[in-house]
Amino acid sequence: MAKTREIKKRIKAVGNIRRITKTMQMIATAKFAAAQQRATASKPYTEALFQLVADLAASVEGVSHPLFGSDADKAKNAQPLTLIITSDRGLCGAYNSNVLRTAMAFLRANPAAKAGSIELVGKKGVAFLRFNGIKIAKSHTFGDKPSYDAVRALADSYIERFSSGEISAVNVIYMRFISAGKQAPAVLQLLPFSPDAASQLARSQKKSDDPTPAPAAKVPYEFTPSARQLLDDLLPAAVRAVLFQGFNDAVVSEHIARMVAMKSATDAAGKMGKLYTRKFNRARQAQITTELTEIISGAAALA
């Protein structure tokens, strides 16, 4: 009797866990749909603005800008800054471990970045970085739905510090959203802005069967206002848009990871519940058989 009672308690506990994980899976699915809409809606604007600045910088010769790194390179004591984007909550599978593993590989390959300023978004990376001896200069919290105003304030602070020569570069390590079935950790160089990197990114995202040929020569432009004034407006806007897109990708990737993890947990709890149910039935049958044997043996002894 004690064995069947214990199995019954385990069946009840597994059922409660399954209901919790199923609920969390449904919540993650709903949040994923909203986050995916935000991420996909902002991506065309970000890519178009990024390519516009790259084309503008490539078509103008002799025009420099602080965000290209020409003025910031004069500060010899400037150190690079690395921003690592993790989640505030757990139960999202290998999401945080993949991002942090990529961050550690980047820091080991770049001693200057490891010795520089390291900032963290989310609470789940704090213990990991402290355990590995990485000092966190500043922590940020943006929640499940980062607002553009909050990300813009962060981007403006990076732009100001980079332009003044306080920092020499800004790299963002986050989970890049490629599709609903594929996400990959990535290292994004936010500053200094590289027109060549922007052009290569645009070409890599182009379909291989696209019949449109690449331009063979530069097209001369006449700018009104001047090219420097256009860059003063477009470059900060591009940096803000790229950083905001990185945050959107990280959020939607987190929801996907949590949705998959909770689905796996729900399926595992369902299988475990069936296993305990079979064990309970077998134990109950054995108990009934034992009771019947005792009754029959007693009746035979009395006869």
Which tens digits make up the pLDDT trace of 221-267? 676 777 778 888 888 998 999 899 999 999 999 999 999 999 999 99
Q: Is the dihedral of CA 32, 34, 40, 43 positive or negative?
A: negative
In DSSP terms, 175 is beta-bridged to: 185
- What is the phi/psi pair of residue 284, to 5°? -65, -40
Q: Examine the pLDDT at 72 and tell me if it is beyond 90.
A: no
**What are the chain's domains?**
2-22+262-298 (1.10.287.80), 24-200+222-258 (3.40.1380.10)
Q: Which two tokens stand for residue 107?
A: 């820091």
Q: What b/e readout covers 1-22, taking b as 16+ CB neighbours within 10 angstroms?
A: eeebeebeeebeebeebbeebb
Across 65-195, the runs of DSSP E, i.e. the strands, are: 79-85, 117-121, 138-140, 167-179, 182-191
- Among candidates 42, 45, 85, 58, which has minimal Cα distance to 198? 58
Answer yes or no: are the C-beta atoms of 175 and 85 closer than 8 Å: yes
Only one residue has tokens 């390291």, namely 118
Of 131-145, 156-170, 287-301, the range with the lowest mean pLDDT is 287-301
What pLDDT, on the 0 to 100 scale, is given for residue 206?
A: 47
How do residues 138-156 score in pLDDT, each as one tens digit? 999 898 889 999 999 999 9
Q: d(Cα 153, Cα 206) in Å, to the nearest integer?
A: 32
Exposure string over 231-252, b if 16+ CB within 10 A, otherwise e: beebbbebbbbbbbbbbbbbbb
Distance, C-alpha 100 to centroid of its chain: 10
